[in-house]
Structure 1
């Protein structure tokens, strides 16, 4: 991997570390201050508002990266493409805001919906796709780190009880808006004002909409379960499910650092017709991600009993039962992300990408509607696991068909065996310790040490192998 990729990886790694550090500070505060009902209300309303955010953003988060990456070397073409895409974003977001305001008159808790709706306004100014496209990860990392730190301190200062729920909405939504606005400070150095035509603006709608179709399907199996839990169940169930998924989401985000870094690079390789090089990079990435996915899967199983009491509080004790099952997602989702962001999207295989998420979306809807009324939060858990598995299995089969690519199953087996040994040994060493933060920290240090040492002795550590090449 070249110097630019390594540098961008380090920036993204720093950013993802902040996504782990700050939640570890705020989750206990928010969980204990708002309780399962408050957390559930925030996430239920957030799930509804996210549909409007999705429509406003269309498919620009992925389409924009690919389009900018393809012309990033030419400032005139880059500027023209940027203004075309941003104008399309402006038109769509303004229409969505109007629709949301009409919708807000039909719901209870109108004030909370409007506060959450600030995140729709934030889409107006969201140009992260541009900076990802030109592979400038430094600015995204620094700005997001500062905003996350500010959000964290604001929560510490102002969120103390369920009465502060509206304040929590303001802090979270305003943080998103401020982060997006801040990136515009650097735009004058990257692009120039240029004349564009409405015809060219509109021409981006259909290809971006292809990404949007996939986006809808993703929402069907990642967000709809929260909405249905609130509609068919209670907001308390939403709170239990959301907090359980939070650990999973943080873990997946950490593992998937390389995907954001490599997507524009892989697009460039595809444009240069270097398919074999793409396959080589993908293979290295998958090995690294499997290494950490398996570590985090067994790590979650290890620390959940000691972590839930101090991180979430007594109201969320039931999440001890949910998290170990949801941890399966840590194994399958990063692999699916890698294939989509490093193969399907760079090679413009949007049809295959959409199929994978449409199948999962359809399955997720059916399972959620069938099981949530009968089994509550467990219905959402089953839907999430099966939907994510379908996405990844489809993409693996597609990759195998197109590039004759196959996973190294012996490598996976060795990592799984090492993870199981790590889990059992660390459990024995920490058996009887109190359910405290210190115990969780000790388990993480011991477990990670055993896993890394074992991988070196068994010669299956992909980082060492990468450096030796």
Structure 2
């Protein structure tokens, strides 16, 4: 009886975390599984070369998404969680974020159109890059930061599941041959726009937020506060998305497709880790309990060990399912890339879930910037000594995550945030 009461008390105290974690896990699983559902079909219809080209274009545009998001996906939830009971200040903050994002998107769009128009490397696939870019409209309109801050992740979940289902159905209906490849970014862009419009309606109609005129000083303040974490996000993406660009540039588009498979498979396993961090972030920001952070980290690490063990054991079967053939290359890349989960987990609890909630944004930025610099040094070393291959690039990513964990640990020790 006492045990039941205790369990009930634990659930009530952490109900929001459990609910948000469940919704976030579901949405991420759907987001990651949906491209894997279509992966075998697209490989069969388009081939590794053309599919790799599509993934390469998405990797390029992912950097532009960073410019549009500008760190608000990190700072936004914290601000919204603090202001959610004051509709006036909340409306002003939300409005300032949308205004900044619209401005950034416009600048980015014009710049990107000039680049793909004048450089032959992009111009040969102009329409592919053009339509892929419009996925970034979702970064402007879809306020995941808002829903995370008010702890109502069900909205994001429902919208994304609907959009992903439409994407999967559309791929099997409309993609029948290599000439149809251009429809893939079109379908993605339409999905991003539709989900963005629905979410904006929910924010300003269902949640009662008002789109108001914002003073220039407040926009400038919001922009400045997010600029620090924008640098951090840019550094993270530097050693995450740049890998596929390097693979495509030095090794070819077939290897991009294989690397992308490894990334997608491992990303599914990383999903519970990332979702847990997003679910507990508002609670940690409010309560700042180091004991709670440490318990969550220990629990997560046990799960990561189990998940990686399963990944290692069944990697060959996974590769055969998606590529329709055995590939030692893909198996080894998946196993190497999967090691990053351990360092990612510890680094996440020491960085984004400790330094940021406790107000040490600059220290977090330094960690991420150092990661980016170390990654570039490793890639330069590989290039100078002609050691670039798909294994070394995957290993460079793992070692970058390891360095980030070590540096975050140093700052936590120095700032006495470990216990």
TM-score above 0.5: yes
Measure the CA separation in 2 of the matches of 1:307 and 1:124: 35
Measure the CA separation in 1 of the matches of 2:181 and 2:301: 39
In the alignment, which residue of structure 1 is the partner of 2:53?
Answer: 41
| Structure 2 counterpart of 1:289, from 300, 307, 323 | 300
In the alignment, which residue of structure 1 is the partner of 2:86?
Answer: 74
The count of corresponding residues between Structure 1 and Structure 2 is 399
In the alignment, which residue of structure 2 is the partner of 1:255?
Answer: 273
In the alignment, which residue of structure 2 is the partner of 1:392?
Answer: 405
Task: Give the 3-state SS of the residue equivalent to 2:359 in structure 1.
Answer: coil
In the alignment, which residue of structure 1 is the partner of 2:418?
Answer: 405
Which shows bigger deviation, 50-59 or 155-164? 155-164
In the alignment, which residue of structure 2 is the partner of 1:216?
Answer: 234
In the alignment, which residue of structure 1 is the partner of 2:190?
Answer: 174
Measure the CA separation in 2 of the matches of 1:375 and 1:202: 42
Measure the CA separation in 2 of the matches of 1:233 and 1:371: 13
Task: Give the 3-state SS of the residue equivalent to 2:268 in structure 1.
Answer: helix
In the alignment, which residue of structure 2 is the partner of 1:305?
Answer: 316
In the alignment, which residue of structure 1 is the partner of 2:136?
Answer: 120
- Paired residues of 2:131 and 2:189 also in contact (CA < 8 A): yes
In the alignment, which residue of structure 1 is the partner of 2:126?
Answer: 110
Q: How far 1:356 moved relative to its partner?
A: 1.4
* 2:370 maps to 1:354: no
* 2:206 maps to 1:189: yes
- Paired residues of 1:151 and 1:175 also in contact (CA < 8 A): yes
In the alignment, which residue of structure 2 is the partner of 1:410?
Answer: none
Consecutive unaligned residues of structure 2, counting only runs of 5 or more, are: 1-12
Task: Give the 3-state SS of the residue equivalent to 1:136 in structure 2.
Answer: coil
Q: How far 1:317 moved relative to its partner?
A: 5.5
What are the Cα deviations for residues 324-368 of structure 1, in whole angstroms up to 9, with x where unaligned? 111101222122223333212222211111121112111211222
- Paired residues of 1:326 and 1:385 also in contact (CA < 8 A): yes
What are the Cα deviations for residues 7-50 of structure 1, in whole angstroms up to 9, with x where unaligned? 22222232233245434422222232222212211121112122
In the alignment, which residue of structure 2 is the partner of 1:83?
Answer: 95
- Paired residues of 1:260 and 1:341 also in contact (CA < 8 A): no
Measure the CA separation in 2 of the matches of 1:341 and 1:363: 19
* 2:157 maps to 1:135: no
Measure the CA separation in 2 of the matches of 1:304 and 1:140: 31
- Paired residues of 1:8 and 1:138 also in contact (CA < 8 A): yes
Q: How far 1:110 moved relative to its partner?
A: 0.6
Q: How far 1:388 moved relative to its partner?
A: 1.1
Consecutive unaligned residues of structure 1, counting only runs of 5 or more, are: 270-274, 407-469
1:326-405 paired onto structure 2 within 5 Å:
326-371=337-382, 373-403=386-416, 405=418
- Paired residues of 1:88 and 1:202 also in contact (CA < 8 A): no
1:233-272 paired onto structure 2 within 5 Å:
233-269=251-287
What are the Cα deviations for residues 73-117 of structure 1, in whole angstroms up to 9, with x where unaligned? 111111111112211111111111111121120222111000111
1:423-462 paired onto structure 2 within 5 Å:
none
Q: How far 1:315 moved relative to its partner?
A: 8.2
Measure the CA separation in 1 of the matches of 2:20 and 2:251: 43
C-alpha change, 1:316 and 1:202, in structure 2 (3 Å) is farther
Task: Give the 3-state SS of the residue equivalent to 2:387 in structure 1.
Answer: helix
Measure the CA separation in 2 of the matches of 1:387 and 1:292: 22
C-alpha change, 1:334 and 1:160, in structure 2 (3 Å) is farther
In the alignment, which residue of structure 1 is the partner of 2:68?
Answer: 56
* 2:243 maps to 1:225: yes
In the alignment, which residue of structure 2 is the partner of 1:421?
Answer: none
Task: Give the 3-state SS of the residue equivalent to 2:160 in structure 1.
Answer: helix
Which shows bigger deviation, 345-354 or 19-28? 19-28
- Paired residues of 1:214 and 1:358 also in contact (CA < 8 A): yes
Measure the CA separation in 2 of the matches of 1:347 and 1:257: 20
Q: TM-score, normalised by structure 1?
A: 0.80
- Paired residues of 1:240 and 1:316 also in contact (CA < 8 A): no
* 2:16 maps to 1:4: yes
Q: How far 1:209 moved relative to its partner?
A: 0.7
- Paired residues of 2:284 and 2:357 also in contact (CA < 8 A): yes
Over aligned residues, Cα RMSD in angstroms?
A: 2.0
- Paired residues of 2:32 and 2:267 also in contact (CA < 8 A): no
- Paired residues of 2:80 and 2:90 also in contact (CA < 8 A): yes
What are the Cα deviations for residues 226-277 of structure 1, in whole angstroms up to 9, with x where unaligned? 11222223122212211111111111123322111111222222xxxxx4xx
